[in-house]
Amino acid sequence: MFLLFLAVSCIDPFVTESIEGPQMLTVEGMVTSGAGPHVIKFSRSADYGSIFKALIRPVSGATVVVRDNLGNVIFFTENIVDRGSYNSPANFSAQVGRSYTLLFRLVDGKAYSSFPETLQAVPELDDLSYQVVTIPVEGETNPRSGIQLIGSFSDPSDQNNFYFWRNDPSVYILKTRPDLFTIRPPDADDRDPDPKDCCDTCFKTELVGNESIFIAQDDNFNGLNTKVPIGFVEDDGLRFIQTFRIDVKQLSITQRAYRFLRLVKQQNEINGSVFDPPPANIRGNVVSLDNPEETVLGYFMAAGERKKRIYINGQDMSFRQNVAIVPDDCREIDGSDISPPIDWNP
């Protein structure tokens, strides 16, 4: 009878009364022991409801500094192109063992501060490998697929360690089909092919895979070598035709930051079923100095960083998506360049 209920149950949109809430400030930023520049972003939250209330707006014009426990102050400057993003100087790297506090003042004069975050050292990633995974899709014969990045490292036994993994921009060899190029109406009257002479091989740079949150705490592997999944990159039919290169950052975060990310990850996995956990309050670590009761969302982190790079040959993968056809000069694609990056060395 329960199965019968499931067959007729339905999920459909529901119009709630408009929940007018204050536009809350959201902070997303990290300073690490790796190379700069480090970025901090500010935005205002939006309401659930009609599409016009749903725009998350960046917060511009703030004065932003990060101060460490020895009194050193680092000024952040706003990115002119990407409003709401504030960059540190490129030569600034945070130091292990120091505590960092984010302080900022908005255009309207309100001042905010984060709680201090202590930067802990992070072990080196001994090995970075990958595994091809396929994800069956309901109603389709062809599954989705991608590579799961697997990192191995030795956890220090004398500390409680919390790990967070993020991807840096990846570069891959992009193959296109300029010989299939066709001028589209209204610029042309017909659909005759108009092949271009060049170019079918470029190097494309993009930042992928950071929507999924990969975190771990060392309860199960304290003091041991361990191998865990630390990232996922989907195969879109273009990335793994030849060579794909990605850098993965292994970050050590504080316990509070780990709790924050764990709740973010949990909320991403909610789908309305009876097995969902009740919603949790995702508390951040930034407070208003004028009004301590004000809720500030998001988190400012200070993390130790180690990077590792991996080159993946498409031919070595056990399963790949069918090659996607891009009927144009590869230089026309965003992020593409005819020359490889300086450090390209598969």
Partner 1 sequence: MSSNTSISATFGYSTGRPVTFPEAKFDFSGNSLAYFDRRNEQRLPDFHRLDLAVNFKLKGEGWFYDGDWTFSILNVYGRKNPFSLFFVDEFGAPPQALRLAILGVPLPSISYAIKF
Q: Which residues bind to partner 1, rule: CB under 8 A?
A: 4-5, 8-16, 19, 21-24, 26, 28, 43, 45-51, 54, 56, 210-211, 213, 264, 267-268, 270-274, 276, 278-282, 295, 297-299
| Closer residue to partner 1 (CB): 5 or 345 | 5
CB within 8 A of 153, min separation 6: which ones? 123, 124, 125, 126, 225, 226, 250
The structure tokens 């014009």 sit at 61
What is the DSSP track for 146-189? EEEEEEEEE--TTS--EEEEEEPPEEEEEE--GGG-BPPTTS-S
Give the nearest distance from C-beta 125 to partner 1 in angstroms: 20
Give the nearest distance from C-beta 231 to partner 1 in angstroms: 13
| Closer residue to partner 1 (CB): 203 or 299 | 299
Query: Could you tell me the CA-to-CA distances from 43 to 12, 20, 58 in Å, in that order?
Result: 30, 18, 4
Instruction: Report the distance separating Cα 43 and Cα 40, nearest Å.
Output: 10
Instruction: Report the distance separating Cα 44 and Cα 63, nearest Å.
Output: 16
Return the closest-CA partner of residue 74 out of 103, 50, 51. 103
Give the nearest distance from C-beta 243 to partner 1 in angstroms: 25
DSSP 193: B
Q: Are 289 and 113 in contact (CB under 8 A)?
A: yes
| Closer residue to partner 1 (CB): 49 or 340 | 49
E strand intervals along 207-285: 214-217, 225-234, 243-253
| Closer residue to partner 1 (CB): 88 or 167 | 167
| Closer residue to partner 1 (CB): 51 or 73 | 51
What is the DSSP track for 112-124? EEEPPEE------
Give the nearest distance from C-beta 275 to partner 1 in angstroms: 11
Give the nearest distance from C-beta 51 to partner 1 in angstroms: 4
Give the nearest distance from C-beta 225 to partner 1 in angstroms: 28
The structure tokens listed for 344 are: 């390209």
Give the nearest distance from C-beta 247 to partner 1 in angstroms: 17
| Closer residue to partner 1 (CB): 236 or 276 | 276
Using CA atoms of 170, 171, 176, 182 in order, give the dihedral in degrees to the nearest 10: 70
| Closer residue to partner 1 (CB): 5 or 192 | 5
Query: Could you tell me the CA-to-CA distances from 77 to 63, 65, 82, 280, 295 in Å, in that order?
Result: 8, 9, 11, 34, 25
| Closer residue to partner 1 (CB): 22 or 223 | 22
DSSP 275: T
Give the nearest distance from C-beta 288 to partner 1 in angstroms: 16
| Closer residue to partner 1 (CB): 55 or 80 | 55
Give the nearest distance from C-beta 263 to partner 1 in angstroms: 9
